[in-house]
Structure 1
Amino acid sequence: MGIFDFVKGVGKKLGIGGDDAPPSADSLKKELDSHKLGTDDVHVEVQGDTAVLKGKVDDQSIFEKAVIAVGNTLGVSKVQADELKVGGAAAAKEPVFYTVKKGDNLWKIAEAQYGKGQGVKNTVIFEANKPMLTSPDKIYPGQVLRIPDISAS
């Protein structure tokens, strides 16, 4: 699947290290598991400011949520997920991610991603990013969100 870029200087702070220090593999795994996504078979390694995810998840949505749960952590600039496999018969697709800009809200993001007049689809984006998002109003510049494919629905 590749390597996914994140903003190193924003995100959830784990531990007590300096802001520019990458978090430990253990703290990233603990953060990932705290979301109860079904990532028990996922292993996390840290190489510099890159988090490497290895193992297996059951479906595409768990794959994408695992990437953003780890990537939206202070000190992580990239998530490498080449060795994170998606189980089942369906082949994994390249995910669509969006980096929040200053002044964005979920309505604006939905219109930008799905087309003019589709702001009402903001709830789809919010639901796709739970449990990492706890409120549609709590997004911040630099945060990466997953944008689900709505063409199938």
Structure 2
Amino acid sequence: MGLFSFIKNAGKKIGIGSDDDAPDVEAVKKELASHDLGTDKVQVEVVDDKVVLKGEVADQSIFEKAVIAVGNTLGISKVEAADLTVAAAPAKEPVFYTVKKGDNLWKIAESQYGKGKGAKNPLIFEANKPMLTHPDKIYPGQVLRIPALEE
């Protein structure tokens, strides 16, 4: 676990420069901090079109949210988090889903949790807050975290 892929030409534009350019490290730090996830102990580096996250976060959900917060940025194709640790317990392999054209949270819930489980879509929305502000505001290429179902 540690290297996650994203679509370089999809995502939120931060900083200055063309859409093909990766944002500078200060813009990425500001974007991560804007979500108020509790990532104050996380160091950020930008190497070409890859963001490297190092440090410690409190729990698994913050780990996953930090990865998608910076990965869903225009110009970023990879997030390396091998040196990002979880204080509460060892980090588990996260489940991410890349949104395709025509997707909505209901369809994504059914594809990830099984037929007839589309009503579980609020779990996906809640798991991706504050990066998602409305359930209908997802876009192709965006990467979402998929929480495990508590059965």
Work out whether the TM-score is over 0.5.
yes
Where structure 1 has 5 or more consecutive residues not aligned to the other structure, the ranges are none
Q: How many angstroms does 1:91 deviate by? A: 1.7
Which letter maps to 2:55?
G
Q: What is the CA–CA distance in structure 2 between the aligned matches of 1:143 and 1:92, rounded to whole Å?
A: 22
**Counterpart residue number, 1:44:** 44
Can you list the C-alpha shifts for 1:84-137, whole angstroms capped at 9, x where unaligned? Answer: 01002x221000000000000000000000000000000000000000000000
Q: How many angstroms does 1:16 deviate by? A: 2.0
CA-based RMSD of the aligned residues comes to 0.7
**Counterpart residue number, 1:102:** 101
Which letter maps to 1:13?
K
Where structure 2 has 5 or more consecutive residues not aligned to the other structure, the ranges are none
**Percent of residue pairs identical:** 72
Which letter maps to 2:84?
L
Can you list the C-alpha shifts for 1:41-63, whole angstroms capped at 9, x where unaligned? Answer: 01110111000000100000000
Q: What is the CA–CA distance in structure 2 between the aligned matches of 1:46 and 1:37, rounded to whole Å?
A: 20
Q: What is the CA–CA distance in structure 1 between the aligned matches of 2:98 and 2:53, rounded to whole Å?
A: 20
Q: What is the CA–CA distance in structure 2 between the aligned matches of 1:15 and 1:82, rounded to whole Å?
A: 25
Which letter maps to 1:134?
T
1:1-153 aligned at under 5 Å gives the runs 1-88=1-88, 90-150=89-149, 152-153=150-151
* TM-score, normalised by the number of residues in structure 1: 0.97
Q: How many residues align?
A: 151
* TM-score, normalised by the number of residues in structure 2: 0.98
